[in-house]
Amino acid sequence: MSGFTPSVLVVEDSPAQAKLLSACLLQLGLPLVGPAATATDALTLCAATWPALAIVDLGLAAGHDGVALAQELRQQGPLPLIFVSATDDTVLLARARALQPLAILPKPFTITSLRRMVELAIYGQARTPLDWQAGAGSEPASAQWLFVRERDVLMRLAVADITCVHTEQKHAVITLVSGRRHSVRTPLAELLLSLPDTFTQVHRSWLVNLNYIEYVDPLASVIRLPGTVEAPLGRTYRDELLRRLTLIS
């Protein structure tokens, strides 16, 4: 059908992860089916709109796990799958692999890895960032500059100068290598979409720029950044951070 845009089902019971997945898909210009927090909700949504792709959390809290839901959906029709998971349950992972998904992305996954797998599923190839934007002359999603409002003016910040971003109450605080801080209302998940892959999430309320890490203390769960800034290292983000660091001994 001319002008048809494939939709993507998102099944994720973590509100923060569901918001991140949804924001990424909307940035790619793909309509959402959901997000659904339970298998029952997902089945109801698919009865009304059959998706071109399903992104499913393996560890759904209520009722079905992600594999059982995917099996039930596959009984209704062909459906490409991407699983996301923080589990180390080898039995569950084996059941997931048996369905031959496009990928099983470990949490916390990178935005780039998610985008590439979605593009491969929908378009048959990974696209460049320019293809994600509305206009041919648009800049990539991860630009060199961010503009933040300071009173009545817009201040330009070099992305390369940002050491970290963290949440304080209802605001996100952007910290520069100079020590200056800027408070914005944009949610952390949306900011991560606008930042390059040198940034990674290390805690539910912290993003850090890998280029500015001075040291990591896994036992104390602390990351040291310039200006005596210390970021907490969340347990669920530890392995992904260590994987992205170049370790020598």
Nearest to 33 by CA among 87, 90, 73: 73
Q: How many CB atoms are located within 10 Å of the residue 135 CB?
A: 7
Number of domains present in the structure of the chain: 2
User: Which stretch, 17-21, 27-31, 159-163, has highest mean pLDDT?
Assistant: 159-163
Which of the four pLDDT bands, split at 50, 70 and 90, describes residue 107? confident
pLDDT of residue 143: 58
- Examine the fold and report which residue of 82, 99, 132 is the final residue of a domain before the chain moves on: 132
Both 101 and 48 in one domain: the answer is yes
What is the domain range of residue 125?
Answer: 8-132
Both 46 and 103 in one domain: the answer is yes
Name the residue with higher pLDDT: 43 or 87: 43
**Residue 16 is part of a domain; what is its CATH number?**
3.40.50.2300
Residue 92 lies in a domain: yes
Both 119 and 158 in one domain: the answer is no
Burial environment of residue 239 by CB neighbours within 10 A (0 to 12, 13 to 18, 19 or more): middle
Q: What is the mean pLDDT of residues 157-170?
A: 91
For the stretch 21-56, pLDDT in tens is 888 888 888 889 989 999 999 999 999 999 999 999
Q: How far apart are CA 242 and CA 164, in angstroms?
A: 17
**% of the chain with per-residue pLDDT over 90:** 35
Residue 140 lies in a domain: no
Both 90 and 63 in one domain: the answer is yes
> Do the bridges between strand 53-57 and strand 81-85 make them parallel or antiparallel, or are there none, so unpaired?
parallel
pTM greater than the 0.85 cutoff:
no
Residue 232 lies in a domain: yes
Q: What share of the chain is helix, strand, coil (3-state, %, to 5)?
A: 35, 30, 35
Residue 167 lies in a domain: yes
Name which of 113-117, 142-146, 183-187 the model is least confident about.
Answer: 142-146
Q: What is the mean pLDDT of residues 166-170?
A: 89
Matching residue, tokens 């201040």: 155
- Residue 198 has phi, psi (to 5 degrees) of -70, -10
Nearest to 141 by CA among 149, 150, 130, 152: 130
For the stretch 213-224, pLDDT in tens is 999 998 999 999
Residue 51 lies in a domain: yes
Q: What is the mean pLDDT of residues 189-203?
A: 82
Q: How far apart are CA 135 and CA 131, in angstroms?
A: 8
